[in-house]
Amino acid sequence: MIRKKVLCSSIVLAVMLLSKLYSSAHSASKRDPIRTAMLAQVEKRKKAIALSPEKQKEAYYSSIRFADRRVPLQNPTVEVKFERYLANFSFRRQQSYDLHKKAAKHLPKIASILRSYGIPEDFKYIPLIESDMNPRVTSHRGAGGYWQFMPATARLYGLRVDGQVDERKDLIKSTHAAARYLKSLYKEFDDWTLVAAAYNVGGGNLKSTIRRQGTRDYYKLRLNKETGSYIYKLVSVKQVIENPNKHGYKRYAKMDDKYQHINEQNLL
């Protein structure tokens, strides 16, 4: 009899326990829609923050590099100069796809040659800045060809320049010469950003400036207008070529931009 009472009590207790568990689970399930809605709101807010123009700009600018070195766009002076030149190369200002056509035609060949010498690929943009990929361009000082070599420098690095032949106008030969010249500058400066500046102003001139001013940081050096804008132009051209959709070149929108933040849409 006692055993029967104990068994009955156990069954009742088990039923009560199961009933309570079911009730708790049922209540929790009723709360789930509210919790789900709240989580959805949190995620929506996080996404809105990630997609805000400020956050997009911050993420994009932190990705910008020249020769694998980050451009210090957190510096307000650097940021202002960069934005000025970037605007100059945007589709809004250019109203032309010529830059991208020339890049598509010539840059793969240039990049391949530079890689064979161990030169960072970002230097392939130099001919776009120097000559606009026009081999017939000649400066008032006598620099000519795709890479705008002075005659003496061209000869020093293996090009024939005389009354009959001007190999500065040969894209392949002049690019090999430019790669040799860039390598020699790197031996002098051991910094690719300074190498690009030296390519523009000359190694001797840049060394004198560094010695006088006591800094090797390109972004802190006080340089002539052309050299002081040189890296900004190279980086700006790189951005519009690699991210055409972002900078208004909609004909190239079918191509994925090289930079694309996970939460970013091309709003520019």
Q: Which amino acid is at 184?
A: S
With 0-12 / 13-18 / 19 or more C-beta atoms within 10 angstroms meaning exposed / middle / buried, residue 268 is middle
pLDDT (tens digit per residue) in 89-138: 999 999 899 999 999 999 999 999 999 999 999 999 999 999 999 999 99
Architecture of domain 73-252: Orthogonal Bundle (1.10)
pLDDT at 29 over 90: no
Give the helix ranges, DSSP H, for 65-191. 76-89, 91-94, 98-116, 126-130, 151-156, 171-189
Say which DSSP state 35 is in: H
pTM over 0.75? The answer is: yes
Tokens found for residue 148: 């705008």
CB 200 within 8 A of CB 127: no
List all residues 6 or more positions away from 64 whose beta carbon is below 8 Å from its beta carbon.
Answer: 70, 71, 73, 82, 235, 239
Yes or no: say if 248 and 91 are a contact pair by the CB < 8 Å rule: yes
